[in-house]
Amino acid sequence: MARSREVGGIAALLVVGVTAVLVLTAAVAVALGKLMVALASPSGTAPDSAASTFMAANAAFSGLALAAVLVTFAVQQRKARHSRRELSLQRRELTRTHAQLYRSAEADLRTLHVELLKLAIDNPELMVVWAGFDEVSAEQGREMLYANLIFSHYLLAYRLGTYPLPEIRGQLRVLVQSRRFREYWAFTAAHRAVLDPAGEERLFGAIVDGAIQEFEGRGGV
């Protein structure tokens, strides 16, 4: 903002200065013309000289007027470029702020998800509210809900870009070595099948699938 005010002040000073020069030049041109006409001799030659001088002064005035227009145009162009840069910076800042707010909201939502799962883990009677968990024992349900917490942790890290993707893949290769986690993953396959195929959770799930297939391809059990 300070820079904008500085550019605007310089532009205003230039316009005022050019205007003052033009007014002064016009006054001088008119006075010079009158003087030359007054000094003209009866021979008829001096008036022609006076007229020529006046025309020269008028041409100079026109040149200065054109110069003033060009200077004003250049100043306006400079201000326009500066305004465009300012708007571009503001758009980038708004985009960055929006992304930060989104990440913050995502983290808050995941925190709530964790709290809901913890309630079900600590209170098995609430576990049956989760789809499919009425078919497993309380102990198995707690294990699967805890596995879901681990999955949610890595999913949030993936969404927020906390870790580079190669590092997340490496951590998943370790995670899928757990038989309990693989049981949870197979148990919740039907839940993931209804997710948006282009959604982040479905895409991240494909990465987990790949880690499991890689593990099983090496003969892991």
User: Measured between alpha carbons, how far is 204 from 191 in angstroms, rounded to an integer?
Assistant: 14
Model confidence at 47: pLDDT above 60: no
CB 127 within 8 A of CB 133: yes
Neighbours of 213 (CB within 10 A): 11
Amino acid at 145: L
Q: Which of 61, 63, 37 is nearest to 51 (CA)?
A: 37
Q: What is the pLDDT of residue 111?
A: 81
Amino acid at 41: S
DSSP 199: S
Q: What is the largest CA-CA distance in the chain?
A: 127
Query: Which pLDDT band, with edges at 50, 70 and 90, does 45 fall under?
Result: very low
Structure confidence by residue, pLDDT tens digits, 63-113: 667 777 777 777 788 888 888 888 888 888 877 787 677 777 777 877 887
Model confidence at 38: pLDDT above 60: no
Across all residues in the chain, what is the average pLDDT? 77
Task: Name the residue with tokens 């960055």.
Answer: 96
Amino acid at 80: A
The structure tokens listed for 217 are 């391809």
Query: Which pLDDT band, with edges at 50, 70 and 90, does 44 fall under?
Result: very low
Put residue 161 in one of left, alpha, beta given phi > 0 → left and psi -120 to 50 → alpha: left
